[in-house]
Amino acid sequence: MPAVGMNDDLVERLYRLAKGDRWALPKSAFAAALAASADRAFTTPPDARELERYLTSLHLEDLALACACGAGPGGNDAAWDHFVLEQRPLLYRSADALVPGGGARELADSLYADLYGLDDRQGERRSLFRYFHGRSSLATWLRAVLAQRHVDRVRSERRLEPLPDEDSGPAAASSSDPPDPDRPRFLALMQRALSVAMSRLTGRDRLRLGCYYAQELTLAQTGRLLREHEATVSRQLARSRKIIREDVGRQLRAENLNTDEIEQCFACVTEDAGPLDLGEILDSIRARKKPAADRSI
């Protein structure tokens, strides 16, 4: 990490803005937190003006609170009281929004425990607050951590779910109908064509499609995420679908399929998607680019 130099005047000014004296936070600890944040943000040492601009943009009060809670054995009592009063209800509310009925409450509680630093390694308290660097608000950061843990838990539970029986599902329901011999071929063609067509979209278009179809966000939620008006989201989704349709049609014609066969290919994915899964298509696009590892704190 590049070395970051901060002058005492800047630290003093930022400490005042952060109201660090509320929690009797040592200035040295606060300076260390500022340096860690800057080290993380800049790949090359910034000039003084750029550094000051960056540090001034941080959520300084939240950073001071996080420092006070995470510093020393047990942190600062007043800081913890403030955190419990302000942030814990938000954390529980976020957990309830993720899993209505309280199913994510234990996630919130375990997160709270990790923030406190119950994981005592070699006599040193390790609080999760060390990962907060003030670029976002503390509430948003807590929501991100909670969301990561929730998603990772759901994904690990899915891996343990038993596979469905072979005689259940649409195939079983229509077992009296003779199987369409072309269907597997058409499905495979559609899967491949869709994957290629989607890989040709911009990242933002794929993200929009993924959020709306794979993650089942509403237009409004997708718009909030992408900083778009939901009418724009709707219109952009329609545009992306049109682009994909045209691309898939071209690809299928390049496979020497006639119009009827192309219609049957599209019909395959509307009647019964079978193995077609937008999430898997997106994953396959990513796998072709670069392998990645799960990461969360």
List helix spans (H) across the chain. 8-18, 27-41, 48-57, 60-70, 77-98, 105-116, 138-160, 170-173, 183-199, 203-209, 219-226, 230-254, 259-271, 278-289
Beta-carbon contacts of residue 192 (< 8 Å; ≥ 6 apart) = 251
| Residue that has been written with the tokens 């724009």 in this structure | 232
Beta bridge partners of 159: none
Question: Judged by CB, which is closer to another protein: 25, or 108?
Answer: 108
Shortest spacing between CB 121 and another protein, in angstroms? 21
Shortest spacing between CB 164 and another protein, in angstroms? 12
Question: Judged by CB, which is closer to another protein: 109, or 283?
Answer: 283
Distance in angstroms (rounded) separating the CA atoms of residues 57 and 75: 25
Question: Judged by CB, which is closer to another protein: 78, or 234?
Answer: 234
| Residue that has been written with the tokens 């390694």 in this structure | 121
| Residue that has been written with the tokens 């072979």 in this structure | 166
Shortest spacing between CB 21 and another protein, in angstroms? 26
Shortest spacing between CB 215 and another protein, in angstroms? 4
Question: Judged by CB, which is closer to another protein: 29, or 221?
Answer: 221
Shortest spacing between CB 16 and another protein, in angstroms? 22
Question: Judged by CB, which is closer to another protein: 10, or 276?
Answer: 276
